């Protein structure tokens, strides 16, 4: 018997836990600020409505109807589609191993916060003391031994959650983490907006630059952020939805997930930019000089901002890193589950066996990212996963479902249990708009990559990541699964119907 969520709430919280991740905190605010500020809302809303919500509805419907993770779902639609599922699972595996390292750093920083260990040079502290980084990604530079203990701690927590399964593990983890996340973010917002200079930060983030709307880059950024932020096209949502009862209404859940995720993103943006505004004020510089995203924001800029607060710096630092930890953790477990579900379905394994089969290799590979060149590998792997992996997976998913399968059949299935009907717009969005934007994104980023590589790093790292994604898709598809893996439920639309 397939596992099933204890309640609809469990599924909703898990899906929100996956969607609300580091991307909301360190990616969205910076992308919005640098892509038109307040004017970014238009491309962004457009991307949410034409891609985010339609694809969420699609992935939820696929998961709950075909009752399998991404590989099983696509194989049950048509055996020739199976490779797409494994490609998505491979992306998830790749993201798992490097995202892990980030969660480990965040855990360390919860501890460092209390004593403000970064002193007055947070960048040097992060690069030289915490990561002990070497200057080149050509060699690993050896293991960074001081990260081993937090590394084992995070792995231990993850393993406990994953072995306990969706209800006793993931559900409980989300019910613990999400309220903490919300509370900590609220604390940051309140602290942030009551600081002098906050208004400059918010002005920087929200001030509309209407000319941005005419730029294709801004639209590409909006679509990219929506995909990453909603955890779509990398097997996660299909896997989570496969544990839903068939008669669950997924249309309203898709809207709810998107609203909570994007609402939280804006909320987090207020916290981040009001505090950056304050810091710029203290330093007497413009906000654009301190604005940053990603790892730079979390481990270099924000610690400096925390040190510059008027009071309770240590405590506030801990609040910030606990926010990152809880956000990252619930995303991390969702992505590991996506891989576990794929493997478990294909070989009809017990949950424990599948969890072991996935976590042991993930554990081994994740060591790469706590070597002294870990940051470079991470940066590159992240680039490949996002610019190549997710974009390609998204395009292929939409082409196969939109053009080689019957989206209208899936729409009927979704409407069967929905309290309001999804119109034909849904099919149009899937078949046209998103494919065009993603296709354009893919061509631009791949021509850039072929011409210049990425970030000055050795090309072989990128090639290994791409080869890993493609080979996993080929090899896992070629392996023989249990007959049940290919067997679609009777009431699910078939390819030849």
- Candidates 99, 118, 405, 468: give the one binding ligand PFF (CB under 6 A): 99
**200-219: b or e for each residue (b if 16 or more CB lie within 10 Å)?**
bbbebbbeebeebbeeeebb
Distance separating alpha carbons of residues 442 and 317, to the nearest angstrom: 38
Dihedral angle, C-alpha 28, 23, 255, 429, nearest 10 °: 70
Does residue number 434 form part of the binding site for ligand PFF (CB under 6 A)? Answer: no
Residue 125 or 329 with smaller CB distance to ligand PFF: 329
Distance separating alpha carbons of residues 17 and 21, to the nearest angstrom: 7
Q: How far is CA 191 from CA 185, 197, 312, in A?
A: 10, 12, 11
Residue 19 or 244 with smaller CB distance to ligand PFF: 19
Does residue number 21 form part of the binding site for ligand PFF (CB under 6 A)? Answer: yes
Question: Cβ of residue 95: shortest distance to ligand PFF, in angstroms?
Answer: 5
Residue 23 or 303 with smaller CB distance to ligand PFF: 23
Distance separating alpha carbons of residues 91 and 101, to the nearest angstrom: 16
- Candidates 18, 88, 185, 418: give the one binding ligand PFF (CB under 6 A): 18
* Radius of gyration of the chain from its Cα atoms, rounded to whole angstroms: 22
- With contact defined as beta carbons under 8 Å apart, do 85 and 70 qualify? yes
Residue 158 or 279 with smaller CB distance to ligand PFF: 158
Does residue number 91 form part of the binding site for ligand PFF (CB under 6 A)? Answer: no
Residue 75 or 393 with smaller CB distance to ligand PFF: 393
Residue 117, class by beta-carbon neighbours within 10 Å (0-12 exposed, 13-18 middle, 19+ buried)? middle
Does residue number 228 form part of the binding site for ligand PFF (CB under 6 A)? Answer: yes
Residue 51 or 309 with smaller CB distance to ligand PFF: 51
Question: Cβ of residue 335: shortest distance to ligand PFF, in angstroms?
Answer: 3
- Candidates 88, 134, 331, 366: give the one binding ligand PFF (CB under 6 A): 331
Structure tokens at 32: 């919005």
- Candidates 15, 95, 202, 268: give the one binding ligand PFF (CB under 6 A): 95
Does residue number 19 form part of the binding site for ligand PFF (CB under 6 A)? Answer: yes
Positive or negative, the Cα torsion across 398, 401, 404, 408? negative
Q: How far is CA 347 from CA 92, 159, 167, 333, 476, in A?
A: 19, 21, 22, 21, 11
For ligand PFF (CB under 6 A), the number of binding residues is: 15
- With contact defined as beta carbons under 8 Å apart, do 83 and 473 qualify? yes
φ, ψ of residue 400 in degrees (nearest 5):
-65, -45
Question: Cβ of residue 20: shortest distance to ligand PFF, in angstroms?
Answer: 7
Contact code string over 229-268 relative to ligand PFF, x by CB under 6 A: x-x-------------------------------------
Give 285-342 as a DSSP string.
S-HHHH---HHHIIIIIHHHHHHTSSS-HHHHHHHHHHHHHHHHHHHHHHHHHHHHHH
Residue 331 or 445 with smaller CB distance to ligand PFF: 331
Does residue number 130 form part of the binding site for ligand PFF (CB under 6 A)? Answer: no
Question: Cβ of residue 21: shortest distance to ligand PFF, in angstroms?
Answer: 2
Residue of 379, 371, 396, 467 lying closest to 88 (CA atoms)? 396
- With contact defined as beta carbons under 8 Å apart, do 205 and 274 qualify? no
Does residue number 23 form part of the binding site for ligand PFF (CB under 6 A)? Answer: yes
- Candidates 5, 11, 24, 410: give the one binding ligand PFF (CB under 6 A): 24
- Candidates 334, 341, 344, 386: give the one binding ligand PFF (CB under 6 A): 334
Contact code string over 281-320 relative to ligand PFF, x by CB under 6 A: ----------------------------------------
Does residue number 337 form part of the binding site for ligand PFF (CB under 6 A)? Answer: no
- Candidates 53, 332, 396, 398: give the one binding ligand PFF (CB under 6 A): 332
Does residue number 394 form part of the binding site for ligand PFF (CB under 6 A)? Answer: no
Structure tokens at 178: 């999400």
Residue 143 pairs in a beta bridge with 371
Residue of 219, 229, 259 lying closest to 390 (CA atoms)? 229
Residue 229 or 239 with smaller CB distance to ligand PFF: 229
Question: Cβ of residue 57: shortest distance to ligand PFF, in angstroms?
Answer: 17
**266-297: b or e for each residue (b if 16 or more CB lie within 10 Å)?**
bbbbbbbbbbbbbbbbbeeeebeebbbbbbeb
Does residue number 414 form part of the binding site for ligand PFF (CB under 6 A)? Answer: no
Residue 22 or 319 with smaller CB distance to ligand PFF: 22
Residue 16 or 276 with smaller CB distance to ligand PFF: 16
Residue 96 or 477 with smaller CB distance to ligand PFF: 96
Binding site for ligand PFF (CB under 6 A): 18-19, 21-24, 95, 99, 228-229, 231, 331-332, 334-335
């Amino acid at each position: 018997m397939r596992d099933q969520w204890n309640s609809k709430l469990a599924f909703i919280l898990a899906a929100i836990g996956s969607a609300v991740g580091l991307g909301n905190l360190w990616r969205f605010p910076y992308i919005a600020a640098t892509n038109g500020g307040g004017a970014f809302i238009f491309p962004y809303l457009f991307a949410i409505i034409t891609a985010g919500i339609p694809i969420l509805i699609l992935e939820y419907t696929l998961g709950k109807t075909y009752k399998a993770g991404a590989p099983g779902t696509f194989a049950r639609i048509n055996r020739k589609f199976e490779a797409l599922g494994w490609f998505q699972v491979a992306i998830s595996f790749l993201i798992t191993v490097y995202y892990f390292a980030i969660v480990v750093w965040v855990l360390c920083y919860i501890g460092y916060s209390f004593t403000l260990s970064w002193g007055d040079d947070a960048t040097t502290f992060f690069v030289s003391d915490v990561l002990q980084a070497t200057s080149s990604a050509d060699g690993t530079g050896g293991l960074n031994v001081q990260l081993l203990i937090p590394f084992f701690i995070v792995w231990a927590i993850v393993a406990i959650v994953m072995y306990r399964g969706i209800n006793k593990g993931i559900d409980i983890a989300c019910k613990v983490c999400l309220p903490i996340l919300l509370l900590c973010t609220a604390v940051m917002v309140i602290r942030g907006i009551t600081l002098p200079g906050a208004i400059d930060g918010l002005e920087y983030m929200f001030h509309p630059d209407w000319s941005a709307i005419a730029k294709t880059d801004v639209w590409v950024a909006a679509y990219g952020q929506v995909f990453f932020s909603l955890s779509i096209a990398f097997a996660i949502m299909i896997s989570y939805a496969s544990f839903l009862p068939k008669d669950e209404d997924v249309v309203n859940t898709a809207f709810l997930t998107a609203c909570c995720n994007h609402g939280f993103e804006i909320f987090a943006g207020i916290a981040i930019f009001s505090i950056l505004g304050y810091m710029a004020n203290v330093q007497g510089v413009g906000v654009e000089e301190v604005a940053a995203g990603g790892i730079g924001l979390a481990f270099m800029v924000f610690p400096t901002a925390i040190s510059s607060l008027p009071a309770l710096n240590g405590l506030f630092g801990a609040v910030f890193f606990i926010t990152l930890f809880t956000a990252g953790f619930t995303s991390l477990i969702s992505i590991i589950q996506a891989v576990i579900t794929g493997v478990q379905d294909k070989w009809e394994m017990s949950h424990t066996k599948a969890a072991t089969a996935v976590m042991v290799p993930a554990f081994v590979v994740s060591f790469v990212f706590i070597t002294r060149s870990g940051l470079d590998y991470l940066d590159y792997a992240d680039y490949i996963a996002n610019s190549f992996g997710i974009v390609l997976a998204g395009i292929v998913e939409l082409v196969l479902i939109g053009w080689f399968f019957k989206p209208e059949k899936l729409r009927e299935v979704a409407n069967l249990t929905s309290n309001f009907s999804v119109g034909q717009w849904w099919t149009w969005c899937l078949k046209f708009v998103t494919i065009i934007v993603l296709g354009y994104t893919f061509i631009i980023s791949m021509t850039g990559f072929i011409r210049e590589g990425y970030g000055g790093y050795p090309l072989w790292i990128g090639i290994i990541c791409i080869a890993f994604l493609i080979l996993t898709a080929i090899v896992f598809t070629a392996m023989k699964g249990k007959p049940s893996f290919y067997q679609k439920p009777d009431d699910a639309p078939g390819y030849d119907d």
